[in-house]
Chains A and B, each alone.
Chain A
Amino acid sequence: MLKSRFTLLAFIILIAGLVLAACNNSEDESDGEGNDEEEEVNIYTSRHYDLDDEIYAEFTEETGIEVNIINGSADELIERMEREGEASEADLFFTADAGRLHRAKEQELLQAIESDTVMENVPEKLRDVDSQWVGLTKRARIIAYHPDRVDEEELSTYEALADPEWEDRVLIRSSENVYNQSLLASFIEIYGEDISRMWAEGIVQNLARTPQGGDRDQASAVVAGEGDVAILNTYYLGGMLNSADEEEVNVAEQLEIFFPNQETTGTHINVSGIGLARHSNNVDNAVELIEYLSGEGVQDQFASANYEYPVNENVEPADVLQEWGDFEEQDINLSILGENNADAVRMFNEVGWQ
């Protein structure tokens, strides 16, 4: 009895040893030389473009500051920061929606970024009112249409797509998607609850099919004839135009772009933005990285590789985007998208937008 228990115990110790070995291993990897004095900055990010990794690598080369990354969905990362509290290792929080940045701010996870360079690089409208986060790239939610079936004259505003003449012709993805939530959140700010609700109801009425797939799928569906217009983000079309798959290029080339609400309230925009973590231990390095990311060099890279609009006004958008032309943007502070997010989600559920 004693002996056999001993065997079992030995077995368990062995396993525990294995685990510890694995721990040490990974720590060696993540700490590089394992040196405490080494300069570093830790980012919690929901963006996952290869380009971002390249930019961080260049930053490290220029400044000697190591960039460490944890990837995840924005909401999960917010939750993790919240749970970690003061002990959190996060210095920066980087995500692709102003609403989420605002949520991080509301949960007191961020602090003000103090840097004149950053304030110069990023226009006021694309920053948090207390400078706790700043936008780094801009994307517009536009209408894509098939020129054979839709005349540009027919298009005017987002609201018009809720009119009866568009019945069975409109394509847009699920309301679970944060870009749609932010779109409705902006309407709630501009038009108030009642009109926004009527708009959502109207769109549901006019849907060509139950919402499914991503933004690229909406584009394909227009070309395939399932619907005539689709509401989607600009950079997905940019990505399709430059796809390795000829068919995707083919689809994107058949579509025309329309910036809605030019005569009225402006086209809805959102940002990818970065916030400075409240409990950061490397504030200086973090601010230096934000300055770097909002600087002209990186802004140019963002713009050309990912078909997003640069926030830095000294930088030109990519050629594709320039062809689409300039446009008027919604004139609201983007924090609003976060403030109205929960209301938007509820409204979507109530009108039955899947």
Chain B
Amino acid sequence: MKWYRSLKTTMNGWTILSILIVSFVILPNLSILVQFFSEPNENWLHIREYMLQSYIQNTLILIVFVGFFTLMIGTSLAWIISAYDFPMRKFFQWGLILPLAIPPYIGAYTYHGILNYTGTIQTTLRNQFDVTVNQDYFNIMNMPGAIFIFTLFLFPYVFTITKAYLARQSTGLIENARILGSSSWRIYFQVVLPISRAAIVAGVSLVILEVLNDYGVVKYYGIQTFTTAIFQTWFGMGDLQSAVKLSGTLMIIVVGLLILERVMRGRKRFSFTTTKVKLLQPVQLKGRQKWLAFSYCMFIFLIAFIIPIIQLLQWAFYTYEQFFATEFLGLIINSVSVAFIASTIIVVMAIIISNFARLNRGMLAKTFPKVTIIGYSIPGAVIAVGVVTLFTSVDRQLFGFYEWLGLEPTLIMSTSIFMLVFAYVIRYLAVAYNSIESGFDRIGTNFTEASRMLGMSVTKSFFKVDMKLIRGAIFGGFILAFIDIMKELPLTLILRPFNFDTLATKAFQYASDEMIHQAAIPSIFIVVVSGIAIYVFHHVLEKE
């Protein structure tokens, strides 16, 4: 009887749905994961001997530095903007998310374009002042350059999640610290950083996963990382099996790191227990401090957004005829509609799993969140292979059914947009999940428990209590997923139906063949659409 009762208490809609979602995520990856346990072959030995050591070294340098810089920039900006008032603060609240709208590989091409021999800076120096500079000073295509690019275009992950957290954080802790006379620095290091740990971890881990997954920037800048090894094995040696072993290794490292963080955090939890959700009141800055805060935000905004955009506009000017030749309206509609549909599904799924994981104990509740990360830690192209395998086999199973419906027994599912949306969901579930989980983490379970005690069901408690408290985190997760999908490449390229182009695929097609001028217009559109999304959602949040 006992097991039955425990089953009855845990087996509700949330559990069933969570199990369903998790199996959705695992299913296409199974065909991939199985290969992880295959026998090492000759290629594998070659990889181990010649590639792994230096590639792992490069990867570590990259993630440690990018992680550190995005953490410092992201949290300091979030703190300054949440706690102080200074000129243009309102704008920076959303303006500093904008760099996320520029795909890092486009940023990499753009900065190289600004700095290289034929770029604006050197050309001006040469033609106007007759100065020829040492190329080494202007070379961005190296490790520090890659760290610079990733930091600039990825820090908003940390910024957004931390800011959402600070704005509604138990303002009490910070105000108490202020009353007790702590200096700003001290509050930042001793209060803000420790209490927002969950948010910071969520943000930084997104950054790190994004870096691990990148192929565009490191390939163009000639830096050999783990991803390079994966692709060289797959494409260069035609050995998908060893490539999958590599991604598996990568995934295990990532999941290991996340678990380690959990363990280290131990039982330290900072959730507020009062009902007074007070917004942090920004302190008006005066004099030099005011301008210092402003300049810091402005500086980051300039280098991470304005400068690359100006360069893109200049290139767009070279190729303006293309604007009339291409049907950009169609591309925009394609990009926006798939991104919107997929991110909505992602958010719903992320809510279900995180709510389940938070309210339950036991193996399932502990492992499910880790599963969401699978899609984000395997390179997109590898996921694509898993998804195609799954869908074609489903299609084959359904041939009979198609005929019964009077259709031709061909590939229907796997040539439809459904496959692409499905792949996006697997890939970006972690993005929304991390944001929503940190939201849940902040409110703890006290309110839900109270609500349950008062006789409401889990579902009712969720809609009536929890959802209202974490609305910011939900919107945050939605925006991040939306923008990510707007920029997404490998999945879109390989899984899309015939003749289905998006802004990102257009931009990439040109950029990959060194036609960077032609890539400018679609890139600008990506930025504009994502920018509008960021602006709209920011205002929705403000209104609350």
Residues of A that sit less than 8 Å from B by CB: 1, 4-5, 7-9, 11-12, 15, 18-20, 22-23, 25-27, 29-30, 36, 42, 48-50, 68-73, 75-77, 79-80, 83-85, 87-89, 103, 173-174, 176, 181, 210-217, 220-221, 223-226, 236, 239, 243-245, 247-248, 250-251, 341-342, 345-346, 349-350, 354
Q: State the CA gap A20–B337 with chains docked (Å).
A: 13
* Segment at the A interface, from B111-119, B168-176, B293-301: B111-119
Q: Which residues does chain B contribute within 8 Å of A224, judged by CB atoms?
A: 117, 135
Q: State the CA gap A77–B494 with chains docked (Å).
A: 7
Residues B457 and A71 in contact, CB atoms below 8 Å apart: no
Q: Which residues of chain B from 117 to 141 have any CB-CB distance to chain A below 8 Å in the complex?
A: 117-119, 123, 132, 135, 141
Q: How far is the CB of B409 from chain A (nearest CB, A)?
A: 9
Q: State the CA gap A25–B345 with chains docked (Å).
A: 18
What residue of chain A has the Cβ atom nearest to residue B498's Cβ?
Answer: A68
Q: How far is the CB of A230 from chain B (nearest CB, A)?
A: 13
Q: Which residues does chain A contribute within 8 Å of B238, judged by CB atoms?
A: 75, 103, 341-342
Q: Which residues does chain B contribute within 8 Å of A236, judged by CB atoms?
A: 514
Residues B457 and A30 in contact, CB atoms below 8 Å apart: no
Q: Dominant SS at the A interface? A: helix
- State which of A20, A72, A77, A346 has its C-beta within 8 Å of the C-beta of B46: A346
What residue of chain B has the Cβ atom nearest to residue A21's Cβ?
Answer: B341
Residues A221 and B117 in contact, CB atoms below 8 Å apart: yes
Q: Which residues does chain B contribute within 8 Å of A176, judged by CB atoms?
A: 219, 228, 231-232, 236
Residues A75 and B234 in contact, CB atoms below 8 Å apart: yes
- Size class of the B contact interface (CB-based, 8 Å): 35 or more
What residue of chain A has the Cβ atom nearest to residue B317's Cβ?
Answer: A244
- Known contacts A19-B341, A350-B50, then 19 further A-B pairs from the complex at CB < 8 Å, ordered by chain A residue: A1-B460, A4-B457, A12-B348, A15-B344, A15-B345, A19-B418, A23-B417, A27-B416, A69-B499, A75-B235, A76-B494, A210-B222, A212-B141, A212-B222, A213-B112, A214-B514, A225-B132, A243-B517, A245-B118
Q: State the CA gap A160–B231 with chains docked (Å).
A: 31
- State which of A5, A18, A42, A220 has its C-beta within 8 Å of the C-beta of B118: A220
Q: State the CA gap A83–B509 with chains docked (Å).
A: 24
Q: How far is the CB of B17 from chain A (nearest CB, A)?
A: 8
Q: Which residues does chain B contribute within 8 Å of A84, judged by CB atoms?
A: 388, 392, 411, 414
Name 9 interchain pairs, CB-CB below 8 A, sorted by A. Answer: A8-B17, A11-B348, A26-B416, A26-B417, A42-B498, A49-B513, A210-B222, A212-B142, A212-B222
Residues of B that sit less than 8 Å from A by CB: 12-13, 17, 46, 50-51, 112, 116-119, 123, 132, 135, 141-142, 219-222, 224, 228, 231-232, 234-238, 240, 318-319, 322, 325, 337-338, 341, 344-345, 348, 381, 384-385, 388-389, 392, 395-396, 408, 410-411, 414-418, 421, 457, 459-460, 463, 490, 493-494, 496-501, 505, 509-510, 512-515, 517-518
Knowing A220-B116, A341-B236, the reply to whether A22 touches B417 (Cβ < 8 A) is yes
What residue of chain A has the Cβ atom nearest to residue B224's Cβ?
Answer: A354
- State which of A214, A220, A244 has its C-beta within 8 Å of the C-beta of B517: A244
Knowing A18-B341, A83-B388, A341-B236, the reply to whether A48 touches B513 (Cβ < 8 A) is yes
Q: Which residues does chain B contribute within 8 Å of A71, judged by CB atoms?
A: 493, 501, 505, 509
Q: Which residues does chain B contribute within 8 Å of A248, judged by CB atoms?
A: 118
Residues A29 and B499 in contact, CB atoms below 8 Å apart: yes
Residues B220 and A213 in contact, CB atoms below 8 Å apart: yes
Which 5 pairs of residues, A with B, have the shortest CB-CB distance?
A: A212-B222, A48-B509, A345-B236, A244-B318, A4-B459
What residue of chain A has the Cβ atom nearest to residue B417's Cβ?
Answer: A26
